[in-house]
């Protein structure tokens, strides 16, 4: 294993972890993944992440490219929730709802960071304390994000948090994947071990109903191309932007599915302990100036955001998302190439 560290200025540090076959780079600005380099079928390295060539590009980006999302990933209805009888108001930044924590994004913050290597695994540990009231949430939350690479081409993303007050917590990474490195993801093949999706209203807030994927555009039990049934989805959404229900229960990491490209020959297996996985087919990407002069458009990247259920603070029938004092939140996702 090899670890390289590079100072980018303004306290921002980039780390690159290599196992001799593949590598990833990340920086402490937003715990952002900068690159994942994987060999294709011709044994040429392909960067399978969208992103930017300059630090200025990362700072200006507003599509959460490859960064940590918190305190609460996804949407909270009407930007409001109650804990222990007290109502908390959040930023309204997505119609009438709050999305990905509002305007004060964790992705735009500087985290403490250090690299490590142990037992054939090397990685980066990011830490930060989110003060009581940040984004409108209660509690001083101590958060830790760890990205690590094994000799078996396993990229692990582990999030932990503690709080001194009861508070909702839901952390993920908003990586935009393109296994060809460029172009559209519509011909990517997906297979998911997910039997249901969450029904949502017109503002993409869950209704509380669980819908079977059988025979629908969301049925990926049998592998199929992204493009195959995407036209069946509401034109207003423009593609997949739905929470698939996994077979996990937070007590253990289970296989969630896989995505691969016949063009590049690259395959990514996804495993997680999270009950939900938001699959987002880059529906709202438009004229984003990205790496190597490429301009990202609709469906040029796809996200697999493993997480707790959207709007869980307001949905009594959903598994609890409340982190209480003396408890530790842990979310784990493993991507194997």
Q: Annotated catalytic sites, by residue?
A: 174, 305
Cα separation values, 143 from 182, 257, 268, 276, 313, Å? 33, 27, 27, 20, 19
- Using DSSP bridges, classify how beta strands 86-89 and 80-83 pair: parallel, antiparallel or unpaired: antiparallel
CA pair distance 337, 335, nearest whole angstrom: 7
Q: Three-state SS for 108?
A: helix
Q: Which of 232, 240, 230, 242 is nearest to 283 (CA)?
A: 240
Q: Read off the tokens for 2.
A: 């090899």
Q: Name 90's Cβ contacts closer than 8 Å, sequence gap at least 6.
A: 76, 79, 80, 81, 98, 101, 102, 135, 136, 137
């Amino acid at each position: 294993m090899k670890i390289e560290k590079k100072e980018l200025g303004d306290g921002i540090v980039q780390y690159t972890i290599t196992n001799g076959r593949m590598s990833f780079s990340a920086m402490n600005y937003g715990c952002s993944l900068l690159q994942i380099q994987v060999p294709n079928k011709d044994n040429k390295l392909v960067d399978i992440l969208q992103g930017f060539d300059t630090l200025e590009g990362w700072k200006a980006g507003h599509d959460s490219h490859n960064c940590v999302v918190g305190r609460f990933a996804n949407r909270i209805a009407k930007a409001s929730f109650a804990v222990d009888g007290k109502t908390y108001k959040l930023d309204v930044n997505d119609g009438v709802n709050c999305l990905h924590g509002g305007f004060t994004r964790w992705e735009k913050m500087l985290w403490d960071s250090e690299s490590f290597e142990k037992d054939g695994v090397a990685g980066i540990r990011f830490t930060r304390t989110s003060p009581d009231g940040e984004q409108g949430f209660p509690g001083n939350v101590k958060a830790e994000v760890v990205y690590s690479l094994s000799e078996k081409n396993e990229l692990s993303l582990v999030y932990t948090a503690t709080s001194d007050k009861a508070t909702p917590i839901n952390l993920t990474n908003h990586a935009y994947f393109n296994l060809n490195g460029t172009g559209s993801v519509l011909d990517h093949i997906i297979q998911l071990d997910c039997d249901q999706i969450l029904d949502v209203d017109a503002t993409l807030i869950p209704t509380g109903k669980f819908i079977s994927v059988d025979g629908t555009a969301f049925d990926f039990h049998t592998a199929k191309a992204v493009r195959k049934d995407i036209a069946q989805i509401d034109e207003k959404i423009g593609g997949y932007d739905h929470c698939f229900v996994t077979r996990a229960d937070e007590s253990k990491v289970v296989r969630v599915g896989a995505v691969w490209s016949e063009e590049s020959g690259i395959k990514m297996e996804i495993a997680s302990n999270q009950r939900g996985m938001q699959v987002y087919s880059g529906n709202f990407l438009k004229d984003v100036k990205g790496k190597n002069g490429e301009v990202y458009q609709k469906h040029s990247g796809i996200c697999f955001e493993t997480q707790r259920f959207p709007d869980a603070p307001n949905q009594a029938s959903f598994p609890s998302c409340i982190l209480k004092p003396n408890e530790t939140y842990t979310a784990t996702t493993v991507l194997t190439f």
